[in-house]
Structure 1
């Protein structure tokens, strides 16, 4: 709803540049691999079906950083694995091999035995980390540079929970993994992994054990965390105030983060107090949902939600309402944000099915809404 005294955000996305590649795009990360000095403009690191990791920047031609000699690159992550200040690279391929690169040298390799589908860097509450990978057999594996930590077959856990009412065959492969810091029922922070496979569940995992699972109305294809609700929109899901809500005049975002789930039924779902609610309809099968917080937003403003899927459009929402739409030349299936031109502002990066990378700059204006009714 908008009223005469309420200011509404309006967002516009303008294409900065694009590049057509020879290889199909599987994944994209933004950063400066192997370099201690992060003052330069960031590069796009692109994992391709041809088994190559490419480096792309507007100011220089495409270069091949490394090659797997055949296996398709399925997942990439950048993180300081060694603690020496440089950004290291984690690469997972369709052959089931995860390779860790540090300072342009192979740090270690690990064979999962099945094609890698997801890689996450899971950080705990005391600044420790572990590398967590999902594969197409439905298994999640945790390890560090030289140590195996734990392994859990999530697909088996899903099969145990599945009821006779579920129709059709279910794919076991891990569709999404999220490392999140959530607030438990006692108001304490906890670090856990959220994992989804081909079953309509979201699993909570700590130290290799499934501690909780929630049923979702559809198969979840992507998850993200952020501050998406305020004290007003929260009332759509709960009638009693929560401990995480601020007080004051007007709506303010909640202190604790929320989790969004992109469904293959075209809806975005939200987890509130460990219950799943349908939030808004995008209208086509979703492949990716990403939270984004522009620097221009105030402390009490909620995050943006970027949705892509089986459509040549990108839909951007705020507070469950559409605020921008981007038309693309093909279906975007890779979405990320990062500062690629050293202007201090993150750009939107899309990887399209037609082997094109597109980079968008955004502008935001807050205007006074003079009419009442739905925005």
Structure 2
């Protein structure tokens, strides 16, 4: 068993926004040379802030740009070059079922994908470079689209006996290239529903599904268990062998080889809404797992052990990681229910 690391979080800066928001992201938009903080707000506006240049707990976030989606409260946000014009595009989903794509600061396309809230967005990319934007909503609909066309759509669990009694809601999505014990790797969209099922989809078709110990509300890829604990440990670039599954009951389980390990990785005993990975700094190739949700803290785990936690002002709605001070290490940016955004540095 690896010895416990002595780590702690330091608050680099925090800011209370005047606008209510549900989701944040960090990235270089519209061919900028420096990254900015992108905030999806309840008034349907995406706000871009300059990130503070130095660590200052009272630093101000300078508003640079507002992007009007002309839609409802924003529930999901993703940054990616989906237009392949060489710059980062902004894709948002709102509570009215509309997906809006911004390119170079302008609305490129708005699509009404359903009559339900678009709570999840992922960009699915295959080995040949083809991609699609996958949207999941509270009505159990999955839609994959491109800026000017629809790729596929399906109803989650429509081909199962479960659909006869209840239409499941999409709780979380993850697009990843997964490896099996046979060494084969393919890209999948993983969808967790509110019926304790995890669905594996390819091109709109459910190719596999498994029962989960709890309703999965957050997922992320990484290396969480040792090679002795799992059947497969594929080290090819971009190929994932393990996925952390965060549950509404506070549990975290690890999935590998399309099976959920029966032993819990950890349990925070309160609903989880966010999971994120930080690279290993221990020398054992095991990543660090960030856990946040309906509690006023961010927990950090390594090898199933709680390494440290950081108190934050309120429950965490949204969380992302990025190297915002350009020191080669990723920081943690969290958005809380009281409209506070905090940047945390691990030391």
TM-score norm. by structure 2 comes to: 0.89
Q: Does 1:267 align with 2:263?
A: no
Which whole-Å deviations, capped at 9, do the CAs of 1:143-202 have from their partners, x for residues lacking one? Answer: 1121211101005356x24799xxxxx673311110011113421111101001211000
Which whole-Å deviations, capped at 9, do the CAs of 1:222-279 have from their partners, x for residues lacking one? Answer: 11111111135x1xxx6xxx45389xxxxxxxx9520111111111011133221232
Cα distance in 1 between the residues matched to 2:240 and 2:30: 34
* Residues matched between the structures, number: 333
- Greater RCO, 1 or 2 (C-alpha within 8 Å, sep 6+): 1
**Aligned CA distance change for structure 1 residues 345 and 150 (closer, same or farther; 3 Å):** same
2:265 partner SS: strand
Cα distance in 2 between the residues matched to 1:243 and 1:45: 37
1:229 to 225, 246, 252: 225
1:262 partner SS: strand
2:48 to 55, 74, 77: 55
Once the two structures are TM-superposed, the CA of residue 293 in structure 1 deviates from its matched residue by 1.1
**Aligned CA distance change for structure 1 residues 157 and 15 (closer, same or farther; 3 Å):** farther
**Aligned CA distance change for structure 1 residues 230 and 104 (closer, same or farther; 3 Å):** same
2:154 to 152, 163, 175: 152
Q: Which runs of 5+ in 2 are unaligned?
A: 54-60
Please say if residues 13 and 360 of structure 1, whose CA atoms lie closer than 8 Å, have aligned partners that are also in contact: yes
**Aligned CA distance change for structure 1 residues 245 and 230 (closer, same or farther; 3 Å):** farther
Match of residue 56 from structure 2: none
Q: Which runs of 5+ in 1 are unaligned?
A: 165-169, 247-254, 364-375
Match of residue 279 from structure 1: 265
1:133 to 135, 142, 157: 135
**Aligned CA distance change for structure 1 residues 243 and 116 (closer, same or farther; 3 Å):** closer
Cα distance in 2 between the residues matched to 1:11 and 1:157: 47
Q: Does 1:293 align with 2:295?
A: no
Please say if residues 142 and 150 of structure 1, whose CA atoms lie closer than 8 Å, have aligned partners that are also in contact: yes
Larger radius of gyration: 1
Q: Does 1:95 align with 2:96?
A: yes
Please say if residues 67 and 105 of structure 2, whose CA atoms lie closer than 8 Å, have aligned partners that are also in contact: no
Query: What does 1:58-137 correspond to in 2, within 5 Å?
Result: 58=52, 60-69=61-70, 71-114=72-115, 115-137=117-139
1:340 partner SS: coil
Cα distance in 1 between the residues matched to 2:11 and 2:126: 37
1:314 partner SS: strand
1:81 partner SS: coil
Please say if residues 117 and 173 of structure 1, whose CA atoms lie closer than 8 Å, have aligned partners that are also in contact: no
Query: What does 1:25-40 correspond to in 2, within 5 Å?
Result: 25-35=21-31, 37-38=32-33, 40=34
Please say if residues 114 and 141 of structure 2, whose CA atoms lie closer than 8 Å, have aligned partners that are also in contact: no
Cα distance in 2 between the residues matched to 1:53 and 1:245: 38
Q: Does 1:308 align with 2:310?
A: no
Query: What does 1:197-236 correspond to in 2, within 5 Å?
Result: 197-232=193-228, 234=229
Cα distance in 2 between the residues matched to 1:94 and 1:243: 39
Which moves more between the two structures, 143-152 or 54-63? 54-63
Please say if residues 171 and 198 of structure 1, whose CA atoms lie closer than 8 Å, have aligned partners that are also in contact: no
Cα distance in 1 between the residues matched to 2:296 and 2:191: 27
